[in-house]
Amino acid sequence: MPPPHSSAPPPPRPAARPFRPRAAAAMEPAPRFSFGVIADVQYADAEDGHDFWGRRRRYYRHSLRLLRAAVEAWAAERPPPAFVLQLGDCIDGVNARSGAAEAEAALGRVLAALGRLRVPVHHAWGNHELYNFGRARLAQSGLRSRPPPGPGPPAAPPGDCHAYHFCPAPRFRFVLLDGYELSPLGRDADSPRRRAALRLLREKNRNADLNNPAGLEEPQFVEFNGGFSRAQLDWFNDVLRFSDENQEKVVVMGHLPIHPDASDEVCLAWNYRDALSVIHSHQCVVCVLAGHQHDGGYCLDSHGVHHLTLEGVIETPPESNAFGTIYVYDDKMVLKGRGRISDRVMCF
Ligand SMILES: Nc1ncnc2c1ncn2[C@@H]1O[C@H](COP(=O)(O)OP(=O)(O)O)[C@@H](O)[C@H]1O
Protein backbone atom coordinates (compact mmCIF):
# COMPACT_ATOMS: atom_id res chain seq x y z
CA MET A 1 0.00 0.00 0.00
CA PRO A 2 1.57 3.32 -1.03
CA PRO A 3 1.67 6.31 1.34
CA PRO A 4 -0.47 9.32 0.41
CA HIS A 5 2.43 11.25 -1.13
CA SER A 6 3.68 8.47 -3.39
CA SER A 7 4.00 9.17 -7.10
CA ALA A 8 2.64 7.24 -10.08
CA PRO A 9 4.33 3.88 -10.77
CA PRO A 10 7.06 3.85 -13.44
CA PRO A 11 6.02 2.59 -16.90
CA PRO A 12 6.62 -1.15 -17.48
CA ARG A 13 10.10 -2.00 -18.74
CA PRO A 14 10.45 -3.98 -21.97
CA ALA A 15 10.76 -7.76 -21.54
CA ALA A 16 14.31 -8.80 -20.71
CA ARG A 17 16.30 -11.27 -22.78
CA PRO A 18 16.72 -14.71 -21.17
CA PHE A 19 19.50 -14.74 -18.57
CA ARG A 20 22.25 -17.30 -19.11
CA PRO A 21 24.27 -17.37 -15.89
CA ARG A 22 26.96 -19.75 -17.19
CA ALA A 23 27.56 -17.81 -20.41
CA ALA A 24 28.28 -14.48 -18.68
CA ALA A 25 32.03 -15.07 -18.47
CA ALA A 26 33.98 -18.19 -19.20
CA MET A 27 35.87 -18.09 -15.88
CA GLU A 28 32.84 -17.24 -13.72
CA PRO A 29 31.78 -20.24 -11.60
CA ALA A 30 28.26 -21.59 -12.09
CA PRO A 31 25.71 -20.58 -9.45
CA ARG A 32 25.35 -22.97 -6.51
CA PHE A 33 21.58 -22.98 -7.08
CA SER A 34 18.77 -20.65 -8.09
CA PHE A 35 15.26 -19.98 -6.85
CA GLY A 36 12.17 -18.11 -8.03
CA VAL A 37 10.55 -15.20 -6.17
CA ILE A 38 7.08 -13.73 -6.52
CA ALA A 39 4.87 -11.61 -4.23
CA ASP A 40 1.31 -10.38 -3.80
CA VAL A 41 -0.46 -12.20 -6.63
CA GLN A 42 -3.79 -11.41 -4.85
CA TYR A 43 -5.79 -13.38 -7.39
CA ALA A 44 -9.57 -13.17 -7.48
CA ASP A 45 -12.02 -13.93 -10.25
CA ALA A 46 -13.22 -10.32 -10.05
CA GLU A 47 -13.24 -7.12 -12.09
CA ASP A 48 -10.24 -4.81 -11.69
CA GLY A 49 -10.25 -2.60 -8.58
CA HIS A 50 -7.96 -0.10 -6.87
CA ASP A 51 -5.81 0.28 -3.79
CA PHE A 52 -7.18 2.20 -0.77
CA TRP A 53 -6.10 5.57 -2.23
CA GLY A 54 -7.67 4.85 -5.61
CA ARG A 55 -4.29 5.43 -7.27
CA ARG A 56 -3.09 1.97 -8.20
CA ARG A 57 -5.15 -0.33 -10.38
CA ARG A 58 -5.49 -3.91 -9.08
CA TYR A 59 -5.74 -6.53 -11.85
CA TYR A 60 -7.42 -9.35 -9.90
CA ARG A 61 -8.04 -11.71 -12.84
CA HIS A 62 -4.89 -10.93 -14.79
CA SER A 63 -2.74 -11.71 -11.79
CA LEU A 64 -3.36 -15.45 -12.33
CA ARG A 65 -2.21 -15.11 -15.96
CA LEU A 66 0.94 -13.35 -14.78
CA LEU A 67 1.55 -16.12 -12.24
CA ARG A 68 1.15 -18.76 -14.98
CA ALA A 69 3.59 -16.82 -17.20
CA ALA A 70 6.08 -16.75 -14.32
CA VAL A 71 5.73 -20.52 -13.86
CA GLU A 72 6.30 -21.10 -17.59
CA ALA A 73 9.41 -18.92 -17.53
CA TRP A 74 10.83 -20.73 -14.49
CA ALA A 75 10.05 -24.13 -16.00
CA ALA A 76 11.93 -23.15 -19.18
CA GLU A 77 15.12 -22.29 -17.27
CA ARG A 78 17.99 -24.78 -17.43
CA PRO A 79 18.53 -25.85 -14.77
CA PRO A 80 15.12 -24.88 -13.38
CA PRO A 81 15.03 -23.05 -10.03
CA ALA A 82 15.46 -25.42 -7.08
CA PHE A 83 12.39 -23.94 -5.38
CA VAL A 84 10.10 -20.91 -5.42
CA LEU A 85 9.38 -18.40 -2.65
CA GLN A 86 5.78 -17.15 -2.75
CA LEU A 87 6.01 -14.14 -0.47
CA GLY A 88 2.37 -14.03 0.63
CA ASP A 89 -1.04 -12.62 -0.37
CA CYS A 90 -1.44 -15.18 -3.17
CA ILE A 91 -5.24 -14.65 -3.19
CA ASP A 92 -7.11 -11.44 -2.45
CA GLY A 93 -9.49 -10.69 0.38
CA VAL A 94 -12.27 -9.91 -2.13
CA ASN A 95 -12.71 -13.68 -2.56
CA ALA A 96 -13.97 -14.01 1.00
CA ARG A 97 -16.78 -11.54 0.29
CA SER A 98 -18.20 -14.05 -2.21
CA GLY A 99 -18.03 -16.88 0.33
CA ALA A 100 -15.81 -19.73 1.41
CA ALA A 101 -16.29 -21.69 -1.83
CA GLU A 102 -14.94 -18.77 -3.88
CA ALA A 103 -11.91 -18.49 -1.60
CA GLU A 104 -11.20 -22.23 -1.91
CA ALA A 105 -11.61 -22.08 -5.70
CA ALA A 106 -9.22 -19.12 -5.99
CA LEU A 107 -6.62 -20.83 -3.81
CA GLY A 108 -7.03 -24.02 -5.84
CA ARG A 109 -6.27 -22.14 -9.08
CA VAL A 110 -3.19 -20.46 -7.64
CA LEU A 111 -1.84 -23.74 -6.23
CA ALA A 112 -2.57 -25.56 -9.50
CA ALA A 113 -0.61 -22.91 -11.41
CA LEU A 114 2.38 -23.24 -9.07
CA GLY A 115 2.02 -27.04 -8.97
CA ARG A 116 3.05 -27.29 -12.64
CA LEU A 117 6.61 -26.54 -11.57
CA ARG A 118 7.28 -29.80 -9.71
CA VAL A 119 9.73 -28.08 -7.34
CA PRO A 120 8.96 -27.10 -3.73
CA VAL A 121 7.12 -23.81 -3.25
CA HIS A 122 7.54 -22.09 0.12
CA HIS A 123 4.57 -19.94 1.06
CA ALA A 124 4.58 -16.95 3.40
CA TRP A 125 1.16 -16.18 4.87
CA GLY A 126 0.02 -12.59 4.33
CA ASN A 127 -2.94 -10.54 5.50
CA HIS A 128 -4.98 -11.55 2.44
CA GLU A 129 -4.60 -15.29 3.14
CA LEU A 130 -5.92 -14.49 6.62
CA TYR A 131 -8.89 -12.47 5.27
CA ASN A 132 -9.92 -15.68 3.49
CA PHE A 133 -9.02 -18.44 5.94
CA GLY A 134 -8.42 -19.05 9.63
CA ARG A 135 -4.99 -20.27 10.63
CA ALA A 136 -6.29 -23.79 11.28
CA ARG A 137 -7.56 -24.06 7.70
CA LEU A 138 -4.31 -22.62 6.29
CA ALA A 139 -2.36 -25.22 8.25
CA GLN A 140 -4.36 -27.94 6.46
CA SER A 141 -4.09 -26.32 3.02
CA GLY A 142 -1.51 -26.37 0.26
CA LEU A 143 -0.09 -23.18 1.80
CA ARG A 144 1.41 -25.18 4.66
CA SER A 145 4.82 -25.58 3.14
CA ARG A 146 6.95 -26.61 6.13
CA PRO A 147 9.24 -29.47 5.02
CA PRO A 148 9.91 -32.50 7.26
CA PRO A 149 12.40 -31.55 10.01
CA GLY A 150 16.07 -32.04 9.18
CA PRO A 151 19.20 -31.90 11.30
CA GLY A 152 19.99 -28.65 13.09
CA PRO A 153 18.03 -26.39 15.40
CA PRO A 154 14.31 -26.97 16.16
CA ALA A 155 12.37 -27.00 12.88
CA ALA A 156 9.80 -24.41 13.98
CA PRO A 157 8.75 -22.30 16.95
CA PRO A 158 6.16 -23.76 19.34
CA GLY A 159 2.43 -23.43 18.66
CA ASP A 160 0.74 -22.70 15.35
CA CYS A 161 3.39 -20.31 14.06
CA HIS A 162 4.06 -20.68 10.32
CA ALA A 163 7.82 -20.17 10.60
CA TYR A 164 10.48 -22.73 9.71
CA HIS A 165 13.92 -23.13 8.18
CA PHE A 166 15.39 -25.30 5.46
CA CYS A 167 18.76 -25.90 3.93
CA PRO A 168 18.69 -26.02 0.08
CA ALA A 169 22.46 -26.46 -0.29
CA PRO A 170 25.40 -26.95 2.09
CA ARG A 171 26.13 -23.74 4.01
CA PHE A 172 22.94 -21.98 2.89
CA ARG A 173 19.85 -21.78 5.10
CA PHE A 174 16.51 -20.09 4.47
CA VAL A 175 14.30 -18.95 7.34
CA LEU A 176 10.62 -18.20 6.84
CA LEU A 177 9.17 -15.80 9.44
CA ASP A 178 5.47 -15.51 10.33
CA GLY A 179 4.69 -11.79 10.59
CA TYR A 180 1.05 -12.43 11.51
CA GLU A 181 1.63 -14.63 14.52
CA LEU A 182 0.57 -11.60 16.56
CA SER A 183 -2.58 -10.47 14.76
CA PRO A 184 -6.33 -10.55 15.20
CA LEU A 185 -6.52 -11.86 11.61
CA GLY A 186 -7.08 -15.58 11.20
CA ARG A 187 -7.81 -16.16 14.91
CA ASP A 188 -11.14 -17.41 16.28
CA ALA A 189 -13.44 -14.58 17.38
CA ASP A 190 -13.15 -15.22 21.12
CA SER A 191 -9.68 -16.71 21.29
CA PRO A 192 -7.17 -15.36 23.85
CA ARG A 193 -4.60 -14.89 21.05
CA ARG A 194 -7.01 -12.63 19.14
CA ARG A 195 -7.90 -10.67 22.26
CA ALA A 196 -4.22 -10.18 23.14
CA ALA A 197 -3.37 -9.02 19.60
CA LEU A 198 -6.26 -6.56 19.61
CA ARG A 199 -5.18 -5.24 23.00
CA LEU A 200 -1.65 -4.60 21.72
CA LEU A 201 -2.95 -3.00 18.52
CA ARG A 202 -5.37 -0.71 20.37
CA GLU A 203 -2.62 0.44 22.75
CA LYS A 204 -0.68 1.70 19.75
CA ASN A 205 -3.57 2.72 17.51
CA ARG A 206 -6.42 4.76 19.01
CA ASN A 207 -8.16 5.33 15.66
CA ALA A 208 -11.71 4.01 15.31
CA ASP A 209 -10.62 2.21 12.13
CA LEU A 210 -7.66 0.00 13.07
CA ASN A 211 -6.47 0.05 9.45
CA ASN A 212 -6.02 3.82 9.64
CA PRO A 213 -2.44 4.90 10.45
CA ALA A 214 -3.26 8.64 10.68
CA GLY A 215 -1.56 10.35 13.62
CA LEU A 216 0.26 7.27 14.93
CA GLU A 217 3.70 7.52 16.51
CA GLU A 218 4.42 4.07 15.06
CA PRO A 219 2.40 4.01 11.82
CA GLN A 220 3.03 0.29 11.26
CA PHE A 221 0.51 -0.49 14.02
CA VAL A 222 -2.45 -1.12 11.71
CA GLU A 223 -4.54 -4.25 11.41
CA PHE A 224 -3.26 -5.21 7.97
CA ASN A 225 0.21 -5.71 9.51
CA GLY A 226 1.12 -8.03 12.35
CA GLY A 227 3.99 -9.03 14.60
CA PHE A 228 6.39 -11.72 15.84
CA SER A 229 5.90 -13.34 19.25
CA ARG A 230 8.77 -13.50 21.75
CA ALA A 231 8.82 -17.30 21.25
CA GLN A 232 9.25 -16.88 17.49
CA LEU A 233 12.06 -14.36 17.97
CA ASP A 234 13.82 -16.66 20.47
CA TRP A 235 13.56 -19.56 18.03
CA PHE A 236 14.86 -17.28 15.22
CA ASN A 237 17.80 -16.32 17.43
CA ASP A 238 18.60 -20.03 18.06
CA VAL A 239 18.52 -20.78 14.32
CA LEU A 240 20.86 -17.87 13.56
CA ARG A 241 23.24 -18.94 16.36
CA PHE A 242 23.42 -22.41 14.79
CA SER A 243 24.08 -20.84 11.38
CA ASP A 244 26.83 -18.61 12.80
CA GLU A 245 28.49 -21.63 14.41
CA ASN A 246 28.33 -23.59 11.15
CA GLN A 247 29.48 -20.78 8.83
CA GLU A 248 26.16 -20.76 6.99
CA LYS A 249 24.71 -17.88 4.97
CA VAL A 250 21.07 -17.19 5.79
CA VAL A 251 18.28 -15.71 3.68
CA VAL A 252 15.24 -14.60 5.68
CA MET A 253 11.82 -14.39 4.02
CA GLY A 254 8.35 -13.30 5.08
CA HIS A 255 5.39 -11.26 3.90
CA LEU A 256 6.18 -8.11 5.88
CA PRO A 257 9.25 -5.92 5.31
CA ILE A 258 11.35 -5.32 8.43
CA HIS A 259 13.55 -2.40 7.35
CA PRO A 260 12.15 1.14 7.01
CA ASP A 261 14.47 1.90 4.08
CA ALA A 262 13.04 -1.01 2.06
CA SER A 263 9.37 -0.10 2.62
CA ASP A 264 7.14 2.80 3.47
CA GLU A 265 6.62 3.21 7.20
CA VAL A 266 3.03 1.94 7.14
CA CYS A 267 3.84 -1.50 5.71
CA LEU A 268 6.39 -2.73 8.27
CA ALA A 269 5.89 -5.55 10.78
CA TRP A 270 4.64 -4.19 14.12
CA ASN A 271 7.85 -5.12 16.00
CA TYR A 272 10.20 -4.99 13.02
CA ARG A 273 12.90 -3.53 15.31
CA ASP A 274 12.94 -6.75 17.38
CA ALA A 275 13.44 -8.89 14.25
CA LEU A 276 16.20 -6.56 13.04
CA SER A 277 17.97 -6.68 16.37
CA VAL A 278 17.99 -10.50 16.30
CA ILE A 279 19.47 -10.39 12.79
CA HIS A 280 22.06 -7.79 13.74
CA SER A 281 23.27 -9.79 16.72
CA HIS A 282 24.52 -12.47 14.28
CA GLN A 283 26.88 -12.58 11.31
CA CYS A 284 25.05 -15.07 9.09
CA VAL A 285 22.09 -13.20 7.54
CA VAL A 286 22.85 -11.91 4.05
CA CYS A 287 19.41 -10.99 2.75
CA VAL A 288 15.79 -10.41 3.82
CA LEU A 289 13.06 -10.92 1.18
CA ALA A 290 9.54 -9.55 1.62
CA GLY A 291 6.37 -8.51 -0.20
CA HIS A 292 3.31 -6.51 1.00
CA GLN A 293 4.54 -3.11 -0.25
CA HIS A 294 3.44 -3.33 -3.87
CA ASP A 295 5.83 -0.64 -5.15
CA GLY A 296 8.81 -2.69 -3.94
CA GLY A 297 11.91 -1.39 -2.18
CA TYR A 298 15.55 -2.13 -1.44
CA CYS A 299 18.29 -1.13 0.96
CA LEU A 300 21.65 -2.38 2.16
CA ASP A 301 21.48 -1.85 5.91
CA SER A 302 24.17 -0.63 8.33
CA HIS A 303 25.16 -4.26 9.08
CA GLY A 304 25.58 -5.23 5.42
CA VAL A 305 22.24 -7.07 5.14
CA HIS A 306 20.33 -6.67 1.87
CA HIS A 307 16.59 -6.00 2.27
CA LEU A 308 14.61 -6.59 -0.90
CA THR A 309 10.86 -5.96 -1.08
CA LEU A 310 9.37 -7.39 -4.25
CA GLU A 311 6.94 -5.43 -6.42
CA GLY A 312 3.46 -6.96 -6.24
CA VAL A 313 1.91 -8.86 -9.15
CA ILE A 314 -1.56 -7.49 -8.35
CA GLU A 315 -0.65 -3.93 -9.35
CA THR A 316 1.26 -5.00 -12.47
CA PRO A 317 -0.36 -4.24 -15.86
CA PRO A 318 -1.23 -7.32 -17.94
CA GLU A 319 1.47 -6.58 -20.55
CA SER A 320 4.23 -6.61 -17.91
CA ASN A 321 5.01 -8.95 -14.97
CA ALA A 322 6.66 -8.97 -11.55
CA PHE A 323 8.74 -12.01 -10.64
CA GLY A 324 12.36 -13.00 -10.65
CA THR A 325 15.00 -15.67 -10.37
CA ILE A 326 17.81 -15.34 -7.86
CA TYR A 327 21.11 -17.07 -8.70
CA VAL A 328 23.10 -17.87 -5.58
CA TYR A 329 26.91 -17.89 -5.60
CA ASP A 330 29.31 -18.28 -2.67
CA ASP A 331 29.87 -14.52 -2.53
CA LYS A 332 26.69 -12.97 -3.97
CA MET A 333 23.10 -13.37 -5.08
CA VAL A 334 22.17 -12.14 -8.56
CA LEU A 335 18.54 -11.24 -9.09
CA LYS A 336 17.29 -11.44 -12.65
CA GLY A 337 14.04 -9.51 -12.52
CA ARG A 338 11.21 -9.75 -15.01
CA GLY A 339 8.83 -6.91 -15.88
CA ARG A 340 8.63 -4.39 -13.02
CA ILE A 341 11.39 -6.07 -11.02
CA SER A 342 14.90 -4.75 -11.67
CA ASP A 343 18.06 -6.81 -11.95
CA ARG A 344 20.26 -6.55 -8.89
CA VAL A 345 23.56 -7.94 -7.62
CA MET A 346 23.69 -8.41 -3.85
CA CYS A 347 27.25 -9.12 -2.69
CA PHE A 348 27.84 -10.80 0.68
N1 LIG B 1 -5.04 4.77 5.36
C2 LIG B 1 -6.01 3.88 5.54
N3 LIG B 1 -7.06 4.13 6.32
C4 LIG B 1 -8.04 3.23 6.51
N5 LIG B 1 -8.04 2.00 5.94
C6 LIG B 1 -7.02 1.68 5.15
C7 LIG B 1 -5.95 2.58 4.91
N8 LIG B 1 -5.07 1.98 4.09
C9 LIG B 1 -5.58 0.76 3.84
N10 LIG B 1 -6.74 0.56 4.46
C11 LIG B 1 -7.57 -0.64 4.42
O12 LIG B 1 -6.78 -1.68 4.95
C13 LIG B 1 -7.04 -2.90 4.26
C14 LIG B 1 -5.76 -3.42 3.70
O15 LIG B 1 -5.27 -2.51 2.76
P16 LIG B 1 -4.79 -3.00 1.36
O17 LIG B 1 -4.15 -1.86 0.63
O18 LIG B 1 -5.88 -3.70 0.65
O19 LIG B 1 -3.68 -4.04 1.81
P20 LIG B 1 -2.66 -4.81 0.90
O21 LIG B 1 -1.65 -3.79 0.49
O22 LIG B 1 -2.12 -5.86 1.78
O23 LIG B 1 -3.43 -5.32 -0.28
C24 LIG B 1 -8.05 -2.56 3.16
O25 LIG B 1 -9.32 -2.91 3.65
C26 LIG B 1 -7.90 -1.08 3.01
O27 LIG B 1 -9.11 -0.48 2.59
Annotation: CATH topology of 31-347 = Purple Acid Phosphatase; chain A, domain 2 (3.60.21)
Q: What is the ipTM of this complex?
A: 0.97
Q: Which of 5, 51, 52 to mutate to test the pocket of ligand 1 (most atoms within 8 A of CB)?
A: 52
Distance CA 298, CA 25 (A): 27
User: b vs e for 143-161, b when ≥16 Cβ sit within 10 Å of the residue's Cβ?
Assistant: bebbeeeeebbebbbeeeb
Instruction: Report the share of the chain in percent with pLDDT over 70.
Output: 93
Residues 146, 164: contact at Cβ < 8 Å? Answer: yes
Could you tell me the distance, in angstroms and rounded to a whole number, from the CA of residue 211 to the centre of ligand 1? 6
316-345 pLDDT, tens digit per residue, is: 999 999 999 999 999 999 999 999 999 999
Q: Which of 224, 264, 311, 316 to mutate to test the pocket of ligand 1 (most atoms within 8 A of CB)?
A: 224
Could you tell me the distance, in angstroms and rounded to a whole number, from the CA of residue 341 to the centre of ligand 1? 23
Which residues line the pocket of ligand 1, CB cutoff 6 A?
Answer: 1, 51-52, 89, 127-128, 209, 211-213, 224, 292
The confidence band for 28, taking pLDDT boundaries of 50, 70 and 90, is confident
Residue 345's CB is within 10 A of a number of other CB atoms, namely 11
Backbone dihedral angles phi then psi of residue 219, each to the nearest 5 degrees: -65, -10
Q: Residue range 221-228: average pLDDT?
A: 98
145-196 pLDDT, tens digit per residue, is: 999 988 889 999 999 999 999 999 999 999 999 999 999 999 999 999 999 9
Could you tell me the distance, in angstroms and rounded to a whole number, from the CA of residue 132 to the centre of ligand 1? 15
pTM: 0.93
